[in-house]
Structure 1
Amino acid sequence: MEWRLALLLFSGFVMECIPHHFIFMSMNKTWTEAQRYCREQYTDLATIENMEDMQMMMDTAKGYDGQAWIGLHQTDVPSWKWSLADEHFYGPGEANFTNWNQGEPNGGDEEECAELLPEGLWNDTPCNGRLPFVCYDETHSGSERYLLIDEKKSWREAQKYCRENHTDLVSVRHEEENQLINETAKIPWIWIGLFRDDWTWSDQRTSSSFRHWRPDSPDNKGTDNCAVTWLTQGNKGTWKDCKCDEQHPFFCRLVPVKRRQTVRVELQVNSSLEMNTSEVQEGILHQISVKLQENGLPPNAKLSWIKQPDGQIFHKKKDEKREKKEGKSKDEF
């Protein structure tokens, strides 16, 4: 996106840099014993929020060829979650937006994934069905972030494809985005990134919905309630559900102090640009992020806009010289 110089606006954004530290413990323990050890010696069993975490965790166990516990375990309270687990991607309430068709979701244990119907409404359906799907790509801007893949795959196959080739299966954060994705699809019945999940993290604080299951896992056996990561050759760290009383090495996670920095920015933009739309705000923030990473910003740093007391992000900068001359202030943008 390119802007012509016309209107000077100012706002601020927050940078959060949270390096993750994983520790591989080669001793064999049950899942509960491993959890107790990690909580006593570090922070907790490992929580994995994205593929970058996965790679950092695996790098701490180079040379190990086998299975190892992570902090994921099964609960009795399933909930609907988005495949894209980055909590900074969602504004207040956006991770909980839904647009279910009347009477949905109505499925039992077998209907654990969501499809987008022709009218833009959602339906729960078995994840092993084969449908086209929409990927989200954070490297693009505007409507080009939503990419229809007109190939029929299961939900997990679609998730794998999007993560390997783009960012993830698409999330829907509000009605405007739902309409845009529906217009992008142009065909009926497609996968979106919503799935029902009864697995949670040991730390009980992280709501990350990131999952990296093997194609045949979880197999929903009643006694396989804890997760291991497979570091054997060819498995690429994918996860498998197994009995919690098995004994394996394990990964602990040490959570460092979060560092926040607030940055004030001034933008010169075309006066006809609607600055208070989510599409424009996301596009600007993305370009800022790319520029900062070119100058050394860590890739795991998260950027988010700060809202002003009136709820807006951007304001027109006051022309002090003109105000002094005219004896009055300009209206805020």
Structure 2
Amino acid sequence: MFRNCECPDSILKVIEFGFDQAMLLYPRSSCSKDPSLSYPAALALASREYHYIADPKTWTEAQTYCREKYTDLATIRDKEEMQSLNELSFFSGGAWIGLFNKLQNWPSKFTADKDKNSCLYFWIHGGIWTPCPCNLTVAFVCHDVNQYAPYGFNLTLDKKNWTEAQRECQQKHTRLATLRNQEEKDYLKSIIPSGHYGVHMDPYGDGWTWSDDSTPFFVNWLDPAQKHLNSSNRCVASLQTPGSQGRWETQSCTERLPFFCLTTTSTPKPQAPPDVTQVNVVNRSEIHLKLQWTKVNNNRSYNYTLRDSSGQESSITGSDAFNKVTHTVSSLSPGTKYSFILFTVFEGVRSTGFNFSEVTVPPYVTQVNVVTRSETRLVLEWTKVNNNNNYEYILRDSNGAETSITGSEAETTVTHTISSLSIGTEYSLTLFTLFEEVRSTGFNFSAVTVPVKRTQIVRVELQVNSSLNLKTPEVQEVLLHQIKVKLQENGLPADVKLSWIEQTDGQIFHKKKDEKRKKEEEKNKDEF
């Protein structure tokens, strides 16, 4: 289109291809058919701008010129870009584009049409391309443009013939791989296991690369057979002749032809937003953490991405009206420390990332036993929670006083003694599990000290038959039982223990002295 010379001083017109818009500017001199035209026409397509340079040069000279004046020799990625390049053509003949071949060590006598039943494979130990029957079954290497492994190589040790290997690569990856330089050869050798000496590769069309070192996924050959490398034709020209539609053919790189340059202008990425500087836990339990942070610069356009230690990420919007962002991390394990990275995100660009760690609430003790007690102390014991030696414990009494307790790593139980207690007193206690300064729900229990032993001496007068021998244990026991029954009738507790007390002379019972004799003994005592 626009190939007539009925143009005014300048023509400005918009050309549409697909969803892209391009502006085609024809200077007055562009109407000339003069092949020595020195004014480049330019086509701006998004961030890629093509330039036609009419001054003939060798392929290498053209590459140097484009790199000095623009970005590089033209790279063509698809049909739309091929069409836009054709719109710049005001000549008849070929013009260099950036495609050339870098393959080395091709068999000197091998050509595409010499043997229709010949394929190539790479002999690892010889380091060269070797002709072989296409039905030879060996391992093969695919190239995957989306793979982040070195060079995008994907080695398959299942042996297939060349056609089967090519088909599988096209189905699962991109195509059979090729080797373009010594580094790729060395890498391939390093991943081939011992005993595998050859792998199918695809030298046909795959030795070709663009001047900017990108891989040609789009091709536009005039004759598909020309993509097979010829030792003298390693560079490619786009033909601008009737019916050619810019299709490609190989040329000797020393031919002098006009050429197409490319200018690429990359839209600068948005500047990385600032990091969050603090993340707080506003609520935590054994299985969740509720996090909160202040919006960076209070900017509602910023979103956030939270990455845990396993690499899993959660996207969090910050577009609401509040200046705080709240996010809950669920399905966690009790008493566990988790590491996180919080990124601020703006237009797909992330901040450096704010690193922080938080812990969930540890489980609580479910039972405390008193293994020893006395009037003034209690010895407590409990089983370690989950047998975890990283957990500590805090014991709080009813007055709020707290004691930190660390168990022995060698034991599965924890023992703690409370001393200086009151006799016969009940104490209310709370036991907390502690992990990274975070407490569990408290376990409440009570324990009592041993009460005091009370002894009361009672003097009893008995009237008994003079024939009864009070020194006999059997008689003493009967008398004691009768006394106990009598006292219980008057309110003595049933669990009270009674016993006789022996006097200094070893006797329990003594006869009561009459009053006259007693007075005489007391008088004699005073006189003495």
TM-score, normalized by length of structure 2? 0.30
Higher alpha-carbon Rg: 2
- The normalised TM-score by structure 1 is 0.45
- Compare relative contact order (CA 8 Å, sep 6+) and give the higher one, 1 or 2: 1
